[in-house]
Amino acid sequence: MGATLNSVSALVSIVFDARVQRSKNRLVAIPARVQRLLGLTRRAGDRLIHVSVRRASGRRWGSHYFKLTEDNEFSIPSDVTGVSPGDRIEVKVHQVLAAAPIPESPGGAGARVLLRLAERPRPGWRRDGSTRLDDYLKEAVHGESGLR
């Protein structure tokens, strides 16, 4: 059980009991002992945890992914029925995932491509854009010009 969290993910199997907090909208705090076993430290909410959850007296486990808060807490979703604030639950940790930030795209790369395409001359394209779109449509359907 001496599993620690690496930079990407750690596969573990730790079971612990917890109480659903009464005043924090179904939050569950991971006990300090379990946090040490998992190698969790206080960090901005950039980690996911894969767990199975059930009431302490229950039989069926429900598998879920949760985003951890900075204080290593997670919120029990509303689809976990039969669990109310103050209830004791069992939590089985399967995996801890460190979410990597999404790299920023180079500024305006997509816009540059679109601007280059728009600069190319294309025969048959209207020069006035879509400002007269209704007039063109009326002319095509009814054969009459909507210009005044």
pLDDT, greater one: 136 or 26: 26
Average pLDDT for residues 50-61, to the nearest whole number? 87
Those residues with Cβ within 8 angstroms of residue 109's Cβ, 6 or more apart along the chain or in another chain: none
Query: Is a pLDDT exceeding 90 seen at residue 100?
Result: no
Q: Which residues in the chain belong to E strands, given as ranges?
A: 9-19, 27-29, 47-55, 62-67, 73-75, 88-98
Q: What does the alpha-carbon distance between residue 66 and residue 51 come to, in Å, rounded to a whole number? A: 8
pLDDT, greater one: 9 or 27: 27
Most confident of 1-5, 42-46, 84-88, 106-110: 84-88
pLDDT of residue 39: 83
pLDDT of residue 19: 92
Judge residue 102's burial from the number of C-beta atoms within 10 Å of its C-beta, 0-12 exposed, 13-18 middle, 19 or more buried.
Answer: exposed
pLDDT of residue 17: 92
pLDDT of residue 105: 55
pLDDT, greater one: 111 or 73: 73
Average pLDDT for residues 18-30, to the nearest whole number? 89
Q: Mean pLDDT over all residues of the chain?
A: 77
Is residue 43 within 8 Å of 98, Cβ to Cβ?
no
**60-82: per-residue pLDDT in tens?**
888 999 888 888 899 988 777 78
Is residue 78 within 8 Å of 35, Cβ to Cβ?
no
pLDDT of residue 90: 93
Side chain identity at 49, as an amino acid letter? Answer: I
Q: Can you list the domains of the chain with their CATH numbers?
A: 9-98 (2.40.30.100)
